[in-house]
C-alpha cells in the first residue's frame, strides 16, 4: 500500500482535545499522542516513552509539558525529556519524535512526512466546522478495511444508485451519466448536473429542478462536497458549465479518511446546512439518520470487499468509464509518492 507521507492527515476533531487533554491516535501504522497544553498549544509526539516504551497517551498534561504516568519522565513540546524523577543528570538526546500538527476547519491535522516540508498552506482548503451561519452534524466510523477502498468509494459515486437505493433513494442518473472530472495539483474535481429531477436526483422528491453537484478530493483522503438547486433549464442555459455562485452556500459536507494501518481506517464526516432561524442549532435529525444509514451501507460493503480481496489477493479489478475520477486520483498519489522518493523535501510556496 502506498501513501503520500508529505500530506496533512486528520487525526481528531479539534473540539475533542480540550486544554490539558491527551489523546492517543494512530496514522499510517504509527502510534501518536496528540495533546493540548494549558495555554492551548497542540503538540504531536511519538506515543512511546523513551524509558520503557509505555504509551505517553496514558500520561498527563502538566502546564506546557507532558508526563509519562508510568515512571514519571517529563517531556517538553519539542519531545525532549526535561525531568527524570530521582535522577539529576538527563543524558543528551533523550527525546521522542515531534510531528508537525495544526488546527484547521475544526480538525487537528498531523503531517506524516518530512517536517521541513510541512507547510500549512498544504492543508486542503475545505469548508469545515469553523464556518459560521450553518448547523452541523458530525460522526466517525472505524473501518476494518484499507483507506484506499474508502477513497475509491467516495471518488466513484455511481455506487449511490445501487448501494444506497433504500437509504438515499437517488436515481440511476448517478450511475448512468458520468461527471466531468478535472485534475488539480493535489486532488481531483468532479462536477455534474442533474436535469429535471428531484433535488440531487432523489426519487419522488418535488419540485423538479436542475441540481449542480460537485466535489473535490485532496490527498490523502479529504473530500468536500456540495450541491445547489436551480430552476429547470439552468443546466442547459449554462451549457452544463459550473454556475457562478458559491455551491457551498446552502449545504456542504467535508469528510476525511485516515489510514490507521494498511487494513484499518478512520472515517470522519461532518455535514452543514445553512442556519434558517436563530434557534436552529442542530442538524435535521431525520436527515442525519438517513446519512448514518447510508454510511453503514458503505461500511458493510467495503469491509466485505476487503475480506474478499484478502481471500483472493491476486484477483484483478476491471476499470469502467465511471472509474475515471478514482483512476486520476490513484495516478496522482503514485506521482506524489514517486516525487517523495526522489525529492523528499519539496519547496513550499
Q: Which residues bind ligand FES (CB under 6 A)?
A: 49, 51-52, 54, 68, 70-73
Q: What is the three-class DSSP state of 216?
A: strand
For residue 305, give the C-alpha cell.
470487499
Closest approach, Cβ 144 to Fe ion, in A, equals 17
Q: What is the three-class DSSP state of 317?
A: coil
Nearer to ligand FES, 70 or 136 (CB): 70
Nearer to ligand FES, 71 or 184 (CB): 71
Closest approach, Cβ 53 to ligand FES, in A, equals 6
Q: Out of ligand FES, Fe ion, none, which partner does residue 222 contact, by CB within 5 to 8 A per kind? A: none
The H or E element spanning position 12 is strand 8-13
Nearer to ligand FES, 32 or 209 (CB): 32
Q: Out of Fe ion, ligand FES, none, which partner does residue 24 contact, by CB within 5 to 8 A per kind? A: none
Closest approach, Cβ 37 to Fe ion, in A, equals 39
Nearer to ligand FES, 72 or 139 (CB): 72
3-state percent breakdown (helix, strand, coil) of the chain, nearest 5: 25, 35, 40
What binding mask, one character per residue, do residues 225-264 give for Fe ion by CB under 5 A, x or -?
Answer: ----------------------------------------
Closest approach, Cβ 48 to ligand FES, in A, equals 9
Q: Out of ligand FES, Fe ion, none, which partner does residue 298 contact, by CB within 5 to 8 A per kind? A: Fe ion
Nearer to Fe ion, 197 or 298 (CB): 298
**Exposed / middle / buried, residue 147 (Cβ in 10 Å: 0-12, 13-18, 19+):** buried
Nearer to Fe ion, 298 or 340 (CB): 298
For residue 96, give the C-alpha cell.
521522542
The DSSP string of 105-174 is TTEEEEE-S-GGG--GGGS-----TT-SSEEEEEEEEEESS-HHHHHHHHH-GGGHHHHTTTTT-B-THH
CA triplet 331, 333, 338: central angle to 5 degrees? 95
Please name which of 163, 72, 79 lies closest in space to residue 115, comparing C-alpha atoms.
79
Q: Which of residues 287-326 bind Fe ion (CB under 5 A)?
A: 298
**Exposed / middle / buried, residue 47 (Cβ in 10 Å: 0-12, 13-18, 19+):** buried
Q: Out of Fe ion, ligand FES, none, which partner does residue 71 contact, by CB within 5 to 8 A per kind? A: ligand FES
Q: Out of ligand FES, Fe ion, none, which partner does residue 331 contact, by CB within 5 to 8 A per kind? A: none
Helices 147-155 and 324-342, axial angle in degrees (round to 10): 130
Closest approach, Cβ 260 to ligand FES, in A, equals 23
Q: Are strands 30-36 and 222-230 parallel, antiparallel or unpaired?
A: unpaired
* Contact present, 212 and 242 (Cβ < 8 Å): yes
> Is the link from the previous residue into 220 a cis peptide, with omega within 30 of 0?
yes
Nearer to Fe ion, 131 or 138 (CB): 138
Q: Out of Fe ion, ligand FES, none, which partner does residue 332 contact, by CB within 5 to 8 A per kind? A: none
CA triplet 332, 336, 341: central angle to 5 degrees? 150
Closest approach, Cβ 67 to ligand FES, in A, equals 8
Closest approach, Cβ 49 to ligand FES, in A, equals 3
Q: Out of Fe ion, ligand FES, none, which partner does residue 52 contact, by CB within 5 to 8 A per kind? A: ligand FES
Closest approach, Cβ 80 to ligand FES, in A, equals 14
Can you tell me the distance from the alpha carbon of 150 to that of 265, in angstroms, rounded to the nearest whole number?
A: 8
Q: Out of Fe ion, ligand FES, none, which partner does residue 195 contact, by CB within 5 to 8 A per kind? A: none
Binding site for Fe ion (CB under 5 A): 298
Amino acid at each position: 500500500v502506498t501513501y503520500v507521507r508529505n500530506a496533512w492527515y486528520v487525526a481528531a476533531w479539534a473540539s475533542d482535545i480540550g486544554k490539558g487533554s491527551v489523546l492517543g491516535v494512530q496514522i499510517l501504522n504509527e502510534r501518536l499522542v496528540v495533546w493540548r497544553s494549558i495555554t492551548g498549544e497542540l503538540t504531536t509526539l511519538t506515543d512511546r516513552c523513551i524509558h520503557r516504551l509505555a504509551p505517553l497517551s496514558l500520561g498527563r498534561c502538566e502546564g506546557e509539558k507532558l508526563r509519562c504516568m508510568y515512571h514519571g519522565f517529563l517531556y517538553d513540546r519539542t519531545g525532549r525529556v526535561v525531568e527524570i524523577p530521582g535522577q539529576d543528570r538527563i543524558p543528551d538526546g533523550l527525546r521522542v519524535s515531534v510531528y508537525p500538527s495544526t488546527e484547521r476547519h475544526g480538525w487537528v491535522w498531523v503531517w506524516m512526512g518530512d517536517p521541513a516540508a510541512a507547510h500549512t498552506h498544504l492543508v486542503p482548503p475545505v469548508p469545515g466546522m469553523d464556518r459560521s451561519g450553518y448547523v452541523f452534524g458530525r460522526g466517525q466510523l472505524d473501518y476494518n478495511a484499507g483507506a484506499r477502498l474508502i477513497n475509491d468509494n467516495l471518488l466513484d459515486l455511481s455506487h449511490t444508485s445501487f448501494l444506497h437505493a433504500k437509504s438515499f433513494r437517488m436515481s440511476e442518473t448517478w450511475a448512468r451519466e458520468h461527471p466531468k472530472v478535472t485534475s488539480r495539483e493535489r486532488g481531483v474535481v468532479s462536477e455534474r448536473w442533474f436535469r429535471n429531477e428531484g433535488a440531487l436526483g432523489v426519487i419522488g422528491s418535488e419540485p423538479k429542478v436542475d441540481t449542480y453537484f460537485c466535489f473535490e478530493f485532496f490527498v490523502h483522503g479529504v473530500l468536500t462536497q456540495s450541491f445547489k438547486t436551480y430552476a429547470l433549464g439552468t443546466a442547459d442555459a449554462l451549457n452544463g458549465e459550473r454556475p457562478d455562485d458559491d455551491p457551498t452556500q446552502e449545504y456542504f459536507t467535508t469528510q476525511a479518511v485516515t489510514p490507521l494501518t494498511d487494513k484499518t481506517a478512520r472515517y470522519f464526516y461532518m455535514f452543514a446546512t445553512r442556519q434558517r432561524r436563530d434557534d436552529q442549532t442542530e442538524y435535521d435529525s431525520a436527515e442525519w439518520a438517513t446519512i448514518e444509514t447510508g454510511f453503514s451501507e458503505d461500511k458493510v460493503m467495503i469491509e466485505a470487499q476487503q475480506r474478499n480481496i484478502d481471500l483472493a489477493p491476486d484477483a484483478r479489478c476491471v476499470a469502467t468509464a465511471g472509474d475515471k475520477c478514482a483512476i486520476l486520483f490513484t495516478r496522482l498519489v503514485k506521482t506524489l509518492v514517486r516525487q517523495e522518493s526522489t525529492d523528499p523535501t519539496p519547496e513550499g510556496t
